[in-house]
Structure 1
Amino acid sequence: MSDGHSYTLTRTLDAPAAAVYRAWTTPDAYARWAYAAPGSVRMDVRPGGAWQATMVTPDGTEVPLTGSYLEVEENRLLVVGMDVPGRAEPSVMVVELDLDGPKTRIELRQTCDTVEERDMAEQGSTMLLDSLTRFLAEGPTA
């Protein structure tokens, strides 16, 4: 992965790690903050388990996504593989959670093949973290 173009995003969220983890791993909660079409999210959160979601872009375009969980440590780590058409290997995103008192430090890392792919992924991940921050501030019920 070190040959590619990487980004790392870090935030401190005003929520315990368990709440952040549930937001990432509960289909209804994930759909509410991650720009997914309602009812489109399926998650089998375990190493080798599959996931799918249909993301909705700001202009209303629906983008179906699929992948699998490569590593799972409850309330601490998700390593998510995202299927990429035309590529044998998935694109991998690492979501790491660390307790910071009553808050949670979240770090997203991804390595991409090109600068353009990295820039698009980083922009999308920034939007996700912004939305997750708002979702957690509203007090998720999932």
Structure 2
Amino acid sequence: MSPEQTTAANGFSYTLTRTLDAPVVKVWRAWTTAEQYARWAGAAAESVEMDVRPSGAWKATMVTPDGGQFPLTGSYLEVAENRRLVVGMDVPGKPEPAAMTMELDEQDGRHTQIVLHQACGTAQERDMAEQGSTMLLDSLSAFLAAETRD
């Protein structure tokens, strides 16, 4: 992973960009395979279900560092294998899901630029979502580095 990470906050949205030390197919698989996702994203292993296709559902129970658990559900709004994934997350009390876009761009067959973008309703929602996405990227980077060594 390259050390640079850019963050752009416009209104109540954020964009995170990183270069990962893995080919795009490995990044895609880590994000869209339940077993791999559970290993790096902080989810309880048996709780992750993914139907990665437009309108397909997903769910996962996230585990916090202090052992707390909270279930998440949603659907895939857009799926372009190895290129783009738009994930909708159900938000209690809101009619529309919160949508996060992940875009992948393979650099040289060995590195992948990943861009995460999300628009939120308030500054507080944006800050929480950006913090969560930063933690996901940190965990994904560590997972891919360990996979490369194996």
TM-score by length of 2: 0.90
Query: Per the alignment, in what secondary structure is the counterpart of residue 42 of structure 2?
Result: coil
The aligned counterpart of 1:15 is 22
Give the whole-Å Cα distance in 1 for the aligned partners of 2:12 and 2:140: 25
The aligned counterpart of 2:62 is 55
Paired residue for 1:109, among 97, 112, 117? 117
Letter in 1 for 2:32: T
Unaligned 5+ residue runs, structure 1? none
The alpha carbon displacement at 1:60 in A equals 1.3
Percent pairwise identity: 69
Query: Per the alignment, in what secondary structure is the counterpart of residue 30 of structure 1?
Result: helix
Deviations 1:88-136 (A, max 9, x none): 0000000000011120000000011110110011001000000000000
Letter in 2 for 1:76: R
Give the whole-Å Cα distance in 2 for the aligned partners of 1:4 and 1:111: 8
Unaligned 5+ residue runs, structure 2? 1-9
Give the whole-Å Cα distance in 2 for the aligned partners of 1:21 and 1:38: 18
Q: What aligned pairs does 1:6-85 form with structure 2 within 5 A after superposition? A: 6-85=13-92
The aligned counterpart of 1:124 is 132
The alpha carbon displacement at 1:43 in A equals 0.2
Letter in 2 for 1:121: A
Q: Which has the higher contact order (CA 8 A, sep 6+)?
A: 1
Q: Taking structure 1 as reference, are residues 4 and 96 closer, same or farther at Cα in structure 2, changes over 3 Å only? A: same
Letter in 1 for 2:87: V
